[in-house]
Structure 1
Amino acid sequence: MNKFKKIETNLQGMYIIEPLVFEDNRGFFLESYNKDEFEKIGITTNFIQDNHSKSKKGVLRGLHFQVRYSQGKLVRVVKGRILDIVVDIRKDSSTYGKWHGIELSEENKKMLYISKGFAHGFLALEDDTEIEYKCDEFYISQYDSGIIWNDRDIAIDWNFEEYGLKEEEIILSEKDTKHQSFKEYTEKYAGENVLLTGADGQLGQDFQKLFDKLETKYTATDYKELDVTDREKVKEFIDNNNFTMIINCAAYNNVDKAEEESEKCFVLNSYVPKYLAEICKEKNIIFVTYSTDFVFDGEREIPYTEEDIPNPLSIYSKTKLEGEKYSLEYEKSFVIRTSWVFGMGNNNFCKQVINWSKGKDKLRIVDDQISSPTYSKDLAEYSWKLIQTDKYGLYHLSNDGEASKFEQAQYILKKIGWNGILERAKTKDFPLPARRAEYSKLDSSKLEGVINKKIPHWKSGIDRFLEEMKEKGEV
């Protein structure tokens, strides 16, 4: 015998649940939830939070929902009686904008299962009414929203007269008096609000282009708008805005100069990610930051995975590794390692090769440094796909394939039609302050598995980069 009966309603994904009740002269017993028994009736929701509220007669709460991390709920009344109301706000649903109401009480012992994508509210019909409800997502204030209880388009019948209530006497919280209309909800942007630091860099610029294309709300800052090294100013800026996410593209990237500017490098690459992650934890919002293939020593001959143990060789790589560790202390962080980034923003190796080729008929490029050139446009796009999964942690993201600096330069020079002589050189031929790994190709298969998409080859990235430069008349 099943311990629960599931009854369909006019809204798909919303069900009335009737528990099996054992009653005798002593009272009654029932199971209000049983994971295995719920799975038998087709409900596999993983509930992670329990809430309990008490209301006097005439209190109306709702209509509440979260714009992100939508909450599935299991609602029951343990004392008193309510009129429970659910509205379908799934824009792709055949019952979009429709509502359903049901009485739940301590007497009928019915429960209401509400899957993700609904707005929810209730009217207390007796004094000291208490309800308990389970949720499959945590409450996150940044995503909290609602639709006004008396919206004309939805036209909910609250049956005030039947319940001995007058509409003008219902009790509302201040927040519930200010909710949007259903029409405003249908027209209103309800996505992310991203704080983008280091926005003038090549990755930051490509994130801006991506967000403009996707119509994602963002605030782009660089050191002129927001000095990320000033923790108090950053905290004040974030406190004054309702961000849902911080993507940190700010970094100290001069690998050789870092050997003499170690303190400055440490602040930007270690300290800044640390306190940005701490602020995100305080706000319960997502944090994204970037690291480098330089954290490895290059002793391997196959691509590095996230499980491989780093062994940084320079000040720069040591500060990046420390920044990783600090960031990953927050459970809602994405730390993304990448390699040999090139794009339209900052100076990079691809641009250097093109500039070196102008007016020269001979170039010498090292062939004993091997990794994968990574197009910043791909880095932004595939990072964003990863971020949407909410599967936090450490990831590798670089373009497919691998190449030496020599092979990268060779490909670029052939593409731009340079007819000079390209000679092979070794790293030791160009003594530089910072040590570099000979081999640091990153294995991106973990990320590709999560997003179910293959990252393009580095040659494809360079092809598209050169087209972009041509469009801007830079090559």
Structure 2
Amino acid sequence: MNKLKKIEADLQGIYIIEPLVFEDRRGFFLESYSKAEFEKIGVTTNFIQDNHSNSKKGVLRGLHFQTKYSQAKLVRVIKGRIFDIVVDIRKGSSTYGKWCGTELSAENKKMLYIAKGFAHGFLALEDDTEIEYKCDEFYAPQYDSGIMWNDEDININWNFEKYGLKEEDIVLSEKDKKHQSFKEYTEKYIGENVLLTGADGQLGQDFQKLFDKLEIKYTATDYKELDVTNKEKVKEFVDKNNFTIIINCAAYNNVDEAEEEPQKCYALNSYVPKYLAEICKEKNILFVTYSTDFVFDGEREIPYTEEDIPNPLSIYSKAKLEGERYSLEYKKSFVIRTSWVFGMGNNNFCKQVINWSKGRDKLRIVDDQISSPTYSKDLAEYSWKLVQTDKYGLYHLSNGGEASKFEQAQYILKKIGWNGILERAKTKDFPLPAKRAEYSKLDSGKIEKIINKKIPHWKTGIDRFLEEMKEKGEI
């Protein structure tokens, strides 16, 4: 015997659900929710939160929705009556902009199932009306939005006369008085709003290209537009904008000079992530920042995982590790370690090798530093895929395979047709202020499992990078 009856409403994805009620002289009993019983009628939603509200007669709440983390809901009245309204706001839907209404009451004991992609609201028809509703996503204030209850294009009939109410008597919250029109919603950008710091660097430039391609709204800043070391200025800037994510690409990357100017290095690599994470926590928005394979000492001979214990060897790597730890104090942070990044923006080892080869017939490159060269375009693309999962935490992200600096240079020089002599050297042959790990290959298995994608091999990254340089006329 089924304990629930599902009745389809006028909009696909909206169901009136009538529970089986057992009544006798003592009162009644019903199952308001049973996962097994709901699955029998084809409702498999995983509800994770219960809400309970009380309203006076004439209170109108809505029309509410979240632009991200859209919520499926199961609504029931436990005291009083409501006229419940849903509006289809699924762009591309055959019933886009259409509405339907249902009376729910403690007496009729009906429930309303609302799928994702609908705006929802209700009118309380009695004093002290109480409703309970389940949601399958948590409330996300930065994505909270709404449409005016009396929008002319939607043209909802709230049945005021039928319920003994007058339009001028309805009670609205200040927030509900300020909702957008349906036309504004239709024409408005609905999506992420990213603050991108360090936007002039190679990773920052590739994020901009990616966001332009995906039509993601972003504000790109470098030190000229926003001094990220000034917490108050950054907070003021964030307060003026409705950002949903901050992606921090700003960094101090000169490993050797960091030994001579540790304060500058710590300011950018440690304290800036700390300030940005604190601001994100205050605003309840996502935070993404980058770290390095240099946090490891290179004593291993197999790729480093996120569980391996860091042991930084230089000022640069110590500052980066401290920045990681500050960032991870905020639960909505992504800290992404990467290695040997190359791209079109800054000077990098790939570009250096190409420049060194010009006019020279002999080069010496070290063969005792091993990791994985990482194309900044891949780093941006796969970082963004990770961000969409909301699986916060620490990740390793580098291109597949591993190589020594010598093997990386050898591959590049062969690709560009250089005919000189490439000799092997050792790190000790080039005494530099900062100590480097001999082996620092990162294991990207965790992120690959999360996003269900394999990170491309470093050689394919260099192939695409060289093509990009040719297109720009740089080689």
TM bucket, shorter chain: over 0.9
Normalised by the length of structure 2, the TM-score is 0.95
Q: Report how far residue 2 of structure 1 moved.
A: 4.3
2:114 maps to what in 1? 114
Which residue number in structure 1 is paired with residue 63 of structure 2? 63
Distance in 2 separating the partners of 1:73 and 1:440: 48
* Partner residue in 2 for 1:259: 259
Bigger Cα displacement from structure 2, 42-51 vs 439-448: 42-51
Q: Establish whether residue 309 from structure 1 lines up as the match of residue 330 from structure 2.
A: no
Task: Tell me whether 1:318 sits opposite 2:318 in the alignment.
Answer: yes
Alignment of 1:62-461 (within 5 A): 62-461=62-461
- Post-superposition Cα deviations, 1:440-473, rounded to whole Å, max 9, x if no partner, equal 1112122122222222221221122122222222
What SS does the aligned partner of 1:378 have?
helix
Cα distance in structure 2, aligned partners of 1:186 and 1:449: 36
Q: Which whole-Å CA distance do the structure 1 matches of 2:16 and 2:391 have between them?
A: 32
Shift of 1:112: 1.4
Please state how far the C-alpha of 1:100 moved relative to its aligned partner: 1.8
Which runs of 5 or more residues in structure 1 are unaligned?
Answer: none
Deviation at 1:36, TM superposition (A): 4.2
Partner amino acid, structure 1, of 2:205: Q
* Helix, strand or coil at the partner of 2:163: coil
Q: 1:407 aligns to what SS in structure 2?
A: helix
Give the C-alpha shift of residue 40 in structure 1: 4.1
Matches of 2:335 and 2:41 in 1, distance apart? Answer: 40
Q: CA–CA distance in 1 between the matches of 2:80 and 2:437?
A: 69
Q: Structure 2: how far apart are the matches of 1:143 and 1:241?
A: 14
CA distance in 2, matches of 1:10, 1:452: 37
Deviations 1:358-414 (A, max 9, x none): 222211000111111111111111111111111212211111121111111111112
- Structure 1 residue 68 displacement after superposition: 0.7
Question: In structure 1, the residue corresponding to 2:179 is in which secondary structure?
Answer: coil
Amino acid at match of 1:55: S
In structure 1, what is the Cα distance between the partners aligned to 2:409 and 2:33? 63
What is the Cα deviation at residue 325 of structure 1? 1.9
- Residue 212 of structure 2 aligns to a residue whose secondary structure is helix
* Distance across 2 between alignment mates of 1:117 and 1:361: 63
Of the structure 1 ranges 64-73 and 5-14, higher mean CA displacement relative to structure 2 is found in: 5-14
Counterpart code for 1:314: S
Q: Secondary structure at the match of 1:381?
A: helix
In the aligned structure 2, how far is the partner of 1:272 from the partner of 1:248?
A: 9
Describe the superposition over 1:7-45 as per-residue Cα deviations: whole angstroms up to 9, x where unpaired. Answer: 332333222222333333343343433444434444333
The range that moved more, 203-212 or 172-181, is: 172-181
Between the aligned partners of 1:21 and 1:402, the Cα distance in structure 2 is 65
The farther-off stretch of 151-160 and 233-242 is 151-160
Instruction: Give aligned pairs, total.
Output: 475
Report the alpha carbon displacement of residue 168 of structure 1 after superposing the two structures with TM. 3.5
Mapped to 2, the partners of 1:89 and 1:464 lie a distance apart of 40
Give, in angstroms, the shift of residue 276 of structure 1: 1.4
Identity %: 88
Distance 1:105 1:218 in 2: 45
Instruction: Measure the CA separation in 1 of the matches of 2:267 and 2:331.
Output: 22
Q: Over residues 290-339 of structure 1, what are the superposed CA-to-partner deviations in whole Å (9 max), with x where a residue is unaligned?
A: 11111122222222222222222222112212222222222211111111
CA distance in 2, matches of 1:173, 1:447: 43
Aligned amino acid, residue 414 of structure 2: K
Which whole-Å CA distance do the structure 2 matches of 1:418 and 1:450 have between them? 40
Letter in 1 for 2:429: D
CA distance in 2, matches of 1:250, 1:2: 59
- Per-residue CA deviation, residues 34-68 of structure 1 (Å, 9 max, x unaligned), is 44443444433333333222222222211110101
Deviations 1:229-288 (A, max 9, x none): 111111121112110001011111111122222222222212221221122122111111
Taking the aligned partners of 2:31 and 2:326, their CA distance within structure 1 comes to 44
One-letter identity of the residue aligned with 1:289: T
Structure 2 unaligned blocks of 5 or more? none
Matches of 2:220 and 2:283, distance apart in 1? 19
> Aligned AA for 1:321?
L
Give deviations 1:122-163, integer Å, cap 9, x for gaps: 111122222222222222222111122222332322222211
SS in 2 for 1:417: coil
Letter in 1 for 2:417: G
Give, in whole Å, the separation in 1 of the partners of 2:413 and 2:379: 23
CA–CA distance in structure 2, aligned partners of residues 405 and 262 of structure 1: 26
